[in-house]
């Protein structure tokens, strides 16, 4: 009889994992409390970038000097809610340590690159297979700077990218203006990562992958996983709120921010917090973009999606249950208008959509992938932070390989939860 795997979570990582397990001949049940690709998921509202360049960790050398400013500015690009500080103190110390030296961030970048280097091609193949190829577009990604001095101020970040095989071309002011005429005159240098891609509707894409998995024989159960059942030390089922236990011999934990408590039941205490991100989306904007753009001063991804022009970014460390601070979405909108003058005076309040979601983030900037500590039958696939969309296909392949006893193409040891002991 084939192995029966319950994949807990139908976000991008869970969806990719389900497809890969089906390819490997497993029986698959996908367990998800909400709608696949629904608004509750980080997969729904992310920046929609699929970038091999997204390997630069959040924590970099010298960041500790900025912490007081983060605490004092509730609308800065990274902020910590005072009420959450006591519970976040340990995580923040680990976070700062992870970026305390160049050697540490070089290692993190290498490990992220192993998951992201071929992400655009992996996504295109997956999307085509699921009948959603039109949602993945590989037209490049543009970083916009006021001048070369601003670009060189981020020299370590770009050196990490170059060392890991990311290529780019520079657009001087005249070229930049011709390439993206709607950009404000304050931007005079562009860095174009030609291999970058984006998704026109991340939520619809995840839903299409889950539907594809179901069409190939997966069972989709809309319910909340609450724990595990063991028999003589081996997994025998996944407990489900309000329903009977789902019998299985293997489980994959891909529940995003909801993974922490379940991982603890599998023997792993993972320091996972919500890096709350926001987006604002303008329906029927007065302009369009040739490619997605990240202005260096706004630190936000601006992308044309099927829902409109989306600006996504911000990092707010706060309790998962805390109410959204919609001023942070307004900050994104203000940056958007400054970056693109054609939007000034044309954005109607009734054309705006706002969203807040939970990036599941570890302090060292790496996801948790691999077999759990206490059970040989439970596997982790969560904690991807800012790179969940891009890293989904590689993570799914790794998990399917180790579940089925194959040696993964990417060594899994650096990503295992045991690193947090």
Residue-wise pLDDT for 126-136, tens only, equals 999 999 999 99
Q: β-pairing, 234-240 with 225-231? A: antiparallel
Which residues sit opposite 137 in a β-bridge?
198
pLDDT of residue 79 exceeding 90, the answer is no
Fold for 1-51+198-272+362-421, please state it. Answer: FAD/NAD(P)-binding domain (3.50.50)
Which residues sit opposite 190 in a β-bridge?
144, 171
What are the phi and psi torsion angles at 144 (to 5°)? Answer: -110, 130
pLDDT of residue 48 exceeding 80, the answer is yes
Q: What is the pLDDT of residue 361?
A: 97
Q: Is pTM beyond 0.85 here?
A: yes
- The full DSSP string for 298-367 is TTEEEEEETTEEEEEEEEEE--TTSPP-THHHHHHHHHHHHH-GGGTTT--GGGEEEEEEEEEE-TTS--
pLDDT of residue 67 exceeding 90, the answer is no
Which residues sit opposite 170 in a β-bridge?
191
Displacement of CA 414 from its chain's centroid (Å): 19
d(CA 312, CA 336) in angstroms, rounded, equals: 10
pLDDT of residue 82 exceeding 90, the answer is no
**pLDDT tens, residue by residue, 90-121:** 999 999 999 999 999 999 999 999 999 999 99
Which residues sit opposite 313 in a β-bridge?
278, 300
**What is each CA distance from 262 to 32, 225, 255, 269, 369, in whole angstroms?**
14, 8, 9, 10, 14
Q: What is the pLDDT of residue 78?
A: 83
Q: β-pairing, 250-253 with 4-8? A: parallel
- For the chain, the average pLDDT equals 95
Determine the Cα angle at 205 with ends 278 and 21, to 5°. Answer: 115
Q: What is the pLDDT of residue 1?
A: 58
Q: What is the mean pLDDT of residues 370-388?
A: 96
Under the banding of pLDDT at 50, 70 and 90, the label for residue 355 is very high
Q: What is the mean pLDDT of residues 51-80?
A: 85
215 burial type by CB count under 10 A (0-12 exposed, 13-18 middle, 19+ buried):
exposed
| 175-188: b (≥16 Cβ within 10 Å) or e | ebbeebebbeeebb
Under the banding of pLDDT at 50, 70 and 90, the label for residue 258 is very high
- The full DSSP string for 43-108 is HHHS--EE-TTTT--S--TTGGGGHHHHHH-TTSSEEE-GGGHHHHHHHHHHHHHHTSSHHHHHHH
Q: What is the pLDDT of residue 228?
A: 97
Strand order in the sheet with 219-221: 219-221, 27-31, 4-8, 250-253, 378-382, 368-371
The structural domains of the chain, with segments of one domain joined by +, span 1-51+198-272+362-421
Listed range (67-76, 219-228, 276-285) with the worst mean pLDDT? 67-76
Q: What is the pLDDT of residue 189?
A: 98
- In angstroms, how far is the first alpha carbon of the chain from the final one? 36
Under the banding of pLDDT at 50, 70 and 90, the label for residue 144 is very high
Indicate the Cα dihedral angle 53, 57, 58, 64, nearest 10°: -140
Under the banding of pLDDT at 50, 70 and 90, the label for residue 73 is confident
DSSP 411: -
d(CA 70, CA 125) in angstroms, rounded, equals: 40
**pLDDT tens, residue by residue, 198-209:** 999 999 999 999
Q: What is the mean pLDDT of residues 49-68?
A: 91
Sequence-distant (6+) residues with CB within 8 A of 49 are 141, 196, 197, 198, 292, 301, 303, 389, 390
pLDDT of residue 74 exceeding 80, the answer is no
Sequence-distant (6+) residues with CB within 8 A of 342 are 182, 286, 287
- At 92, list the tokens: 């923040």
d(CA 27, CA 25) in angstroms, rounded, equals: 7
What are the phi and psi torsion angles at 319 (to 5°)? Answer: -65, 145
What are the phi and psi torsion angles at 363 (to 5°)? Answer: -70, -25
d(CA 221, CA 29) in angstroms, rounded, equals: 7
């Amino acid at each position: 009889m084939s192995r029966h795997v319950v994949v807990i979570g139908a976000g991008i990582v869970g969806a990719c994992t389900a497809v890969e397990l089906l390819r490997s001949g497993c029986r698959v049940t996908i367990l998800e409390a909400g709608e696949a690709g629904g608004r509750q998921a980080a997969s729904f509202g992310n920046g929609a970038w699929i970038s091999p360049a997204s390997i630069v960790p959040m924590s970099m050398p010298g960041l500790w000097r900025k912490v007081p400013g983060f605490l004092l500015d509730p609308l800065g690009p990274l902020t910590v809610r005072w009420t959450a500080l006591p519970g976040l103190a340990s995580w923040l110390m680990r976070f700062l340590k992870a970026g305390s030296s160049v050697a540490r961030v070089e290692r993190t970048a290498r490990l992220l690159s192993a998951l992201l280097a071929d992400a655009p091609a992996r996504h295109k193949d997956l999307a085509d297979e699921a009948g959603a190829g039109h949602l993945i577009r590989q037209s490049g990604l543009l970083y916009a700077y006021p001048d070369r001095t601003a670009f060189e101020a981020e020299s370590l970040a770009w050196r990490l990218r170059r060392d890991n095989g990311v290529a780019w071309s520079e657009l001087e002011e005249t070229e930049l203006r011709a390439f993206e005429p709607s950009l404000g005159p304050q931007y005079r240098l562009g860095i174009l990562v030609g291999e970058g891609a984006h998704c026109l509707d991340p939520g619809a894409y995840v839903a299409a992958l889950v539907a594809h998995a179901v069409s190939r024989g997966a069972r989709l159960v809309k319910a909340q996983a609450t724990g595990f059942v063991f028999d003589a030390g081996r997994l025998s089922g996944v407990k489900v709120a309000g329903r009977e236990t789902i019998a299985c011999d293997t489980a994959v934990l891909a529940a995003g921010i909801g993974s922490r408590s379940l991982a603890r039941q599998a023997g792993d205490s993972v320091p996972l917090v919500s890096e709350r991100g926001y987006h604002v989306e303008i329906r029927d904007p007065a302009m369009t973009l040739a490619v997605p753009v990240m202005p260096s001063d706004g630190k936000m991804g601006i992308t044309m999606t099927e829902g409109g022009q989306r600006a996504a970014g911000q990092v707010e460390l706060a309790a998962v249950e805390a109410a959204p601070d919609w001023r942070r979405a307004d900050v994104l909108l203000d940056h958007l208008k400054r970056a693109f003058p054609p939007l000034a005076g044309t954005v109607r309040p009734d054309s705006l959509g706002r969203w807040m979601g939970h990036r599941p983030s570890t302090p060292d900037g790496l996801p948790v992938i691999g077999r759990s500590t206490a059970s040989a039958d439970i596997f982790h696939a969560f904690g991807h932070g800012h790179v969940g969309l891009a890293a989904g296909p590689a993570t799914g392949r790794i998990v399917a390989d180790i579940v089925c006893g194959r040696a993964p193409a990417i060594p899994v040891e650096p990503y295992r939860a045991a690193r947090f002991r």
